[in-house]
């Protein structure tokens, strides 16, 4: 271990990925534990990331006429049970409230693990005619699911998310909505998170039980494990039949409405860390970075240097999220801290820079230093941020490409799995999936829209009917 | 009742204020009931108001270096009881969770009614030196309090709010913070809500039990009843002593930290409705209005008219929140609906307007129509919105002025109270307050920073020691 490591106390990523992840989360002050296991505290630096995701999504959802709402935290047990299929996965995890102070409630309440039933009940009451459709509601809130194991950002008893709930007159329109949202999630990855998501339908076994079709976006972490990063469901008429969400169509016929629901959560922050982070800590893609640029005067006692730093701050802070580091600490500590926090760009200004009319720029994601004429700064910054974003996206895409395998036999599958990563195999639906999960721990991530690799499923020896992307997953 | 009334189904404000309020809330689709009593659904138009408040506050809080965070929904019963005074008011209202699915929890969990204990626990862990101070955290979330009676926006079992929790090295600094926030709340009233808040300290009896000092902002509704619209607490060292939030000062001495907490909630939306609304429905102040301008083509089949309406929409929508009403409904229904929703400005464009190169503008808050040369529109709109805001603020201020009385005797007090409104009286602290509440239902809103009106308290005949603003309150 080198000295720098000892200062930062972040484990080496290749030695113990799990410990590295925890270290990075805690030391960079993104998140912390509370006194209830599995309930986390989102600290300013971590919550700012969530606010950036909210901003991006709100802008995009507004363009497509989605409306933000807020539905209650609780609903009755009776309502919860109205759609039987979807509660299958949630009932054992649901928080039940039976008492207020010392008084027992006449009917038990459930803290929302997801809100399909609440939205459905409202829609059933309000939708009368095809003219009332579509309804495109979204809410930002927290939900509670009593997960047994917990991991910072990735799996917690309470997490923050957005849940969209829409109603449409036809199957085509609803399917289109769930597909459009899937593409929006991919856009979020491409433009904000610098994460290339693989997307596709979930298999029957892995889909949301309340849905006809579940689409999902999957991300590949640095350690080769996959992470389900968001889902978009076509619910069909499952809920509308259970809740009687009907409308009169243009021919005065009564029809059941078609619904979708979709969500992304604070898991995305976990993905951001695990995809981009390195031995020095976080690496923030520039468009989501809460601090995009940090300005550091190299000689704190040199008035000219400090003055110049302030001047640069003024010039940049109208267009970028900038900080100036005037802490009374040594430069090494400061640099180390900026790197831990993953700030994309550090501008160093010292006596030498002043003399030469130039600036030293440290670029976090590839640890390079460049010199820049001061007069070119305002012109260069947007180009530089764009280049950083593109390079980070490309690096993450290369990682996916270099860790995606194709298996024609089950042995090949198992060999690839030792290296981790994505493995494509053509299989005979559920049966193969169950064997694979039991024997190797890998799960079906998505069904790929690709031709069959083999005619016969190598696991079951039956006729293969789909090509599936497998991986070990968080 | 006139025909218009029958169409809109909104009660007359002067006949039945309470029913009028409920009608306006529901018909304008701000909010709705859920299946659990006291848990409300915030619909798009109502939630948009909350988002405007969030935006305003986030901008202002950022300027003063406050940071947004998210702390958990639940904490242990044990933690809740660590500061005994503050739970006095909350314990009977707290939601207690003892079961997950069928499994009983080892320790009961409380759904947050407010989060002082959670923040305090975190601060105790993290704060070591005076260099770590101040800490200025804020969160937007929902809290749950099991109120027995419920009223849309004003009193509900779950409500949305922001709760700020700060820590400071000195009493002076913490007091200043709680005072600065009080002023920020007043600014929110002045600049966004067009509501003049009266502010001051709460009396001993009315203050938050966990605080040394509670400041509050109060608003006067149209019906003359007051509404506590926000509070800012100087907590002193009550929590820091209970939780051991200590720090080493510059002289290496261990000190207890001084704290504040403060909050505003979705109650503000209730105030907005009750202060500004009229017989036609909502009246939105222009800077918070989710739709500031609605454009209505008067002849939907006239191509030139519709084209012009679209053109105006394009010109205005880059700078304002604008809608164009192209619904296939009659003009009377449309106008009535815009008025119900309280849209500040309606631009009517028809054949006659086209011929004359002018526009007809309907101004919601004073129900006047003006003609405007089309070429002046872009120049006039910002002036007009400003004028509307100022007039609405002035009207609300006049209402306060015209309904604030001064009482030198208890009889005078009782007479004024029949007319409702604010009544100032100089009293002998708790004792008078208790008698007044019991006998008249009026409560102490705030202690006024004004000289004594009478030397002797008219209620107790003891020496008066403070001038208090009384009112019946929601």
Q: Would the CB atoms of B158 and A95 count as touching at under 8 Å? A: no
**How far, in Å, CA of A160 to CA of A457, rounded?**
40
**How far, in Å, CA of A25 to CA of B300, rounded?**
58
pTM (2 d.p.):
0.96
In 3D space, the residue among B229, B228, B202 whose CA is nearest the CA of residue B215 turns out to be B202
Pick the CATH number of B404-471 from 3.30.565.10, 3.40.50.970, 3.30.110.30, 3.50.50.60: 3.30.110.30
Residues contacting A251, CB < 8 A, separation 6+ = none
Picking from A34, A70, A144, the nearest residue to B118 by CB comes out as: A34
pLDDT of residue B264: 98
| Chain B residues lying within 8 Å of A71, measured CB to CB | 34, 41-42
3-state SS record for A183-213: HHHHHHHHHHHCCCCEEEECCCCCCCCCCCE
Instruction: Give Cα B174 to chain centroid, integer Å.
Output: 23
User: Which residue in B52, B74, B134 has the most chain A C-beta atoms within 10 A of its own C-beta, making it the best mutation to test that interface?
Assistant: B74
Is residue A83 within 8 A of residue A114, CB to CB? The reply is no
Residues contacting A17, CB < 8 A, separation 6+ = A222, A223
Taking residues B314-331, report their average pLDDT.
96
pLDDT of residue B91: 67
Q: Measure the CA dihedral A107/B30/A266/A195, to 10°.
A: 140
**How far, in Å, CA of B231 to CA of A453, rounded?**
66
β-pairing verdict for A358-363 and A345-349 = antiparallel
Place of tokens 């009482």: B407
3-state SS record for chain B: CCHHHHHHCCCCCCCCHHHHHHHHHHHCCCEEECCCCCCEEECHHHHHHHHHHHHHHHHHHHHCCCEECECCCEEEHHHHCCCHHHHCCCHHHCEEEEEECCEEEEEEEEECCCCHHHHHHHHHHHCCEHHHCCEEEEEEEEEECCCCCCECCCECCEEEEEEEEEEECCHHHHHHHHHHHHHHHHHHHHHHHCCCCEEEECCCCCCCCCCCEEEEEEEECCCCCEEEEEEEEEEECHHHHHHCCEEECCCCCEEECEEEEEEEECHHHHHHHHHHCECCECCCCCCCCCCCEEEEECCCCCHHHHHHHHHHHHHHHCCCCEEECCCCCCHHHHHHHHHHCCCCEEEEECHHHHHHCEEEEEECCCCEEEEEEHHHHHHHHHHHHHHHHHHHHHHHHHHHHHCEEECCCHHHHHHHHHCCCEEEEEECHHHHHHHHHHHHCCEEEEECCCCCCCCECCCCCCECCEEEEEECEC
β-pairing verdict for A293-297 and A345-349 = parallel
Long-range contacts of A309-312 (CB under 8 A, 24+ apart): A309/A349, A312/A347, A312/A349, A312/A359, A312/A377
- Per-residue pLDDT of B255-305, as tens digits, reads 999 999 999 999 999 999 999 999 999 999 999 999 999 999 999 999 999
Residues contacting B380, CB < 8 A, separation 6+ = B372
Neighbouring-strand partners of residue B345: B293, B363
Neighbouring-strand partners of residue B261: B165, B233
Pick the CATH number of A17-276 from 3.30.930.10, 3.40.190.10, 3.30.70.270, 3.20.20.100: 3.30.930.10
Is residue B353 within 8 A of residue B301, CB to CB? The reply is no
Q: What are phi and psi of A29, to 5 degrees?
A: 55, 50
Picking from B39, B72, B102, the nearest residue to A72 by CB comes out as: B39
**How far, in Å, CA of B122 to CA of A44, rounded?**
13
Picking from A47, A73, A92, the nearest residue to B69 by CB comes out as: A47
Is residue B247 within 8 A of residue B327, CB to CB? The reply is no
What CATH number is given for B293-384 in this structure? 3.40.50.800
**Interface pTM (ipTM) of the complex?**
0.96
pLDDT in tens, chain A (474 residues): 344 454 567 999 999 999 999 999 999 999 999 999 999 999 999 999 999 999 999 999 999 999 999 999 999 999 988 877 777 767 677 888 888 877 888 889 999 999 999 999 999 999 999 999 999 999 999 999 988 899 999 999 999 999 999 999 999 999 999 999 999 999 999 999 999 999 999 999 999 999 999 999 999 999 999 999 999 999 999 999 999 999 999 999 999 999 999 999 999 999 999 999 999 999 999 999 999 999 999 999 999 999 999 999 999 999 999 999 999 999 999 999 999 999 999 999 999 999 999 999 999 999 999 999 999 999 999 999 999 999 999 999 999 999 999 999 999 999 999 988 999 999 998 999 999 999 999 999 999 999 999 999 999 999 999 999 999 999
Q: Which two tokens stand for residue B205?
A: 């009896």
Q: Which two tokens stand for residue B224?
A: 């003359």
Is residue A388 within 8 A of residue A365, CB to CB? The reply is yes
| Chain A residues lying within 8 Å of B161, measured CB to CB | none
Q: Which two tokens stand for residue B30?
A: 């701000």
Beta-strand (E) ranges in A62-157?
67-68, 74-76, 95-100, 103-111, 135-144
Residue A262 burial by Cβ neighbours in a 10 Å radius (0-12, 13-18, 19+): buried
Q: Is A420 helix (H, G, I), strand (E, B) or coil?
A: coil
Q: Is A333 helix (H, G, I), strand (E, B) or coil?
A: helix
Picking from B69, B121, B146, the nearest residue to A42 by CB comes out as: B69
- Taking the alpha carbons at both ends of chain A, their separation in whole angstroms is 29
Q: Would the CB atoms of A43 and B72 count as touching at under 8 Å? A: no
User: Which residue in A27, A33, A35 has the most chain B C-beta atoms within 10 A of its own C-beta, making it the best mutation to test that interface?
Assistant: A35
**How far, in Å, CA of A325 to CA of A256, rounded?**
60
Tell me the pLDDT band of B203, cut-offs 50, 70 and 90: very high
| Chain A residues lying within 8 Å of B47, measured CB to CB | 67-70
User: Which residue in B66, B100, B159 has the most chain A C-beta atoms within 10 A of its own C-beta, making it the best mutation to test that interface?
Assistant: B100
**How far, in Å, CA of B467 to CA of B125, rounded?**
42
Taking residues B300-326, report their average pLDDT.
97
Three-point CA angle A336, A341, A343, nearest 5°: 95
- Per-residue pLDDT of B352-375, as tens digits, reads 999 999 999 999 999 999 999 999
State how far the alpha carbon of A259 is from the alpha carbons of A164, B83, B133, B218, in Å.
10, 47, 50, 44
Tell me the pLDDT band of B103, cut-offs 50, 70 and 90: confident
Helix/strand number for chain A, H first, E second: 15, 23
State how far the alpha carbon of B234 is from the alpha carbons of B91, B166, B174, in Å.
22, 10, 7
pLDDT of residue A186: 98
pLDDT of residue B57: 98
For residue A426, the 8-state DSSP code is: E
Place of tokens 């008249």: B440
Q: Would the CB atoms of A137 and B99 count as touching at under 8 Å? A: no
Region label for B64, one of left (φ > 0), alpha (ψ between -120 and 50) or beta (otherwise): alpha
State how far the alpha carbon of A174 is from the alpha carbons of A163, A216, A259, B293, B461, in Å.
16, 16, 6, 32, 73
| Chain B residues lying within 8 Å of A51, measured CB to CB | 68
Q: Which two tokens stand for residue A415?
A: 């060999």
User: Which residue in B27, B31, B41, B144 has the most chain A C-beta atoms within 10 A of its own C-beta, making it the best mutation to test that interface?
Assistant: B41
Q: Would the CB atoms of A160 and B70 count as touching at under 8 Å? A: yes
Q: Would the CB atoms of B98 and A93 count as touching at under 8 Å? A: no
User: Which residue in A36, A121, A290 has the most chain B C-beta atoms within 10 A of its own C-beta, making it the best mutation to test that interface?
Assistant: A36
pLDDT of residue A98: 84
Neighbouring-strand partners of residue B33: B40
Q: Determine the residue of chain B that is closest to A37 in CA distance.
A: B75
Q: Would the CB atoms of B158 and A72 count as touching at under 8 Å? A: yes
Picking from A32, A68, A142, the nearest residue to B73 by CB comes out as: A142
Q: Would the CB atoms of B75 and A36 count as touching at under 8 Å? A: yes
Taking residues B336-352, report their average pLDDT.
97
Q: Would the CB atoms of B41 and A69 count as touching at under 8 Å? A: yes
In 3D space, the residue among B422, B373, B31, B379 whose CA is nearest the CA of residue B225 turns out to be B422
Q: Would the CB atoms of B41 and A71 count as touching at under 8 Å? A: yes
Is residue A35 within 8 A of residue B72, CB to CB? The reply is no
| Chain B residues lying within 8 Å of A75, measured CB to CB | 34-36
Question: In residues, how long is chain A?
Answer: 474
Asked if omega into A228 is within 30° of 0 (cis), the reply is: no
Q: Would the CB atoms of B48 and A70 count as touching at under 8 Å? A: no
pLDDT of residue A91: 66
State how far the alpha carbon of B305 is from the alpha carbons of A160, B300, B309, in Å.
47, 7, 6
Instruction: State the smallest CA–CA distance between residue B352 and chain A in angstroms.
Output: 32
Q: Measure the CA dihedral A356/A362/A368/A369, to 10°.
A: 10
A17-276 and A404-471 in the same fold: no
Tell me the pLDDT band of B101, cut-offs 50, 70 and 90: confident
β-pairing verdict for B293-297 and B322-324 = parallel
Q: Is A266 helix (H, G, I), strand (E, B) or coil?
A: coil
Q: Would the CB atoms of B44 and A67 count as touching at under 8 Å? A: yes
Picking from B96, B99, B122, the nearest residue to A32 by CB comes out as: B122
| Chain A residues lying within 8 Å of B99, measured CB to CB | 95-96, 98
Q: Which two tokens stand for residue B185?
A: 């709340």
Q: Would the CB atoms of B100 and A101 count as touching at under 8 Å? A: no
- Per-residue pLDDT of B105-131, as tens digits, reads 888 999 999 999 999 999 999 999 999
Instruction: State the smallest CA–CA distance between residue A41 and chain B in angstroms.
Output: 5
Q: Where are the domains of chain A?
A: 17-276, 293-384, 404-471
* Position B3 pLDDT exceeds 50: no
Q: Would the CB atoms of B44 and A68 count as touching at under 8 Å? A: yes
């Amino acid at each position: 271990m080198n000295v720098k490591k000892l200062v930062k106390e972040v484990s080496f990523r290749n030695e113990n990925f799990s410990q590295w992840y925890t270290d990075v989360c805690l030391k960079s002050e993104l998140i912390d534990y509370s006194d209830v296991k599995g309930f986390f505290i989102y600290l300013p630096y971590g919550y700012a990331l969530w606010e950036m995701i909210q901003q991006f999504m709100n802008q995009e959802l507004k363009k497509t006429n989605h409306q933000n709402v807020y539905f209650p935290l609780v609903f009755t047990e009776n309502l919860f049970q109205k759609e039987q299929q979807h509660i299958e996965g949630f009932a054992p995890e649901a928080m039940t409230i039976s008492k207020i102070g010392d008084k027992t409630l006449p009917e038990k309440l459930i803290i929302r693990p997801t809100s399909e039933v609440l939205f459905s009940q409202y829609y059933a009451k309000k939708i009368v005619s095809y003219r009332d459709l579509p309804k495109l509601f979204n809410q930002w809130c927290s939900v509670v699911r009593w997960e047994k194991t917990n991991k910072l950002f990735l799996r917690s008893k309470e997490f923050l998310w957005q849940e969209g709930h829409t109603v449409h007159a036809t199957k085509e329109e609803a399917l289109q909505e769930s597909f459009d949202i899937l593409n929006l999630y991919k856009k979020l990855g491409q433009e904000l998170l610098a994460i290339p998501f693989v997307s596709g339908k979930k298999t029957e076994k892995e889909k949301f039980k309340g849905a006809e079709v579940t689409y999902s976006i999957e991300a590949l972490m640095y350690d080769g494990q996959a992470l389900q990063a968001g889902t978009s469901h076509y619910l069909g008429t499952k809920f509308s039949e259970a809740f009687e969400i009907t409308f009169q169509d243009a021919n005065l016929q009564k029809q059941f409405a078609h619904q979708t629901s979709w969500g992304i959560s604070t898991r995305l922050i976990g993905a951001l860390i695990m995809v981009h982070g390195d031995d020095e800590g976080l690496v923030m893609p520039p468009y989501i970075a809460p601090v995009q640029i940090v300005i550091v005067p190299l000689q704190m006692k040199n008035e000219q240097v400090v003055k110049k730093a302030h001047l640069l701050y003024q010039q940049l802070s109208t267009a970028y999220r900038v900080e100036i580091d005037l802490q009374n600490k040594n430069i090494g500590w400061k640099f180390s801290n900026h790197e831990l926090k993953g700030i994309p760009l550090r501008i160093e200004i010292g006596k030498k820079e002043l003399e030469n009319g130039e600036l030293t720029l440290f670029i976090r994601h590839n640890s390079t230093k460049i010199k820049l004429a001061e007069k070119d700064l305002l012109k260069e910054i947007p180009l530089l941020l764009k280049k950083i974003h593109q390079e980070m996206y490309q690096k993450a895409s290369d990682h996916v490409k270099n860790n995606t395998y194709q298996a024609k036999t089950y042995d090949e599958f198992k060999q690839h799995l030792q290296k981790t990563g994505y493995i494509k195999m053509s299989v005979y639906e559920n049966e193969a999936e169950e064997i694979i999960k039991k024997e190797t721990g890998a799960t079906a991530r998505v069904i790929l829209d690709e031709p069959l690799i083999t005619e016969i499923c190598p696991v079951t020896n039956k006729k293969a009917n789909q090509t599936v992307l497998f991986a070990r997953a968080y």
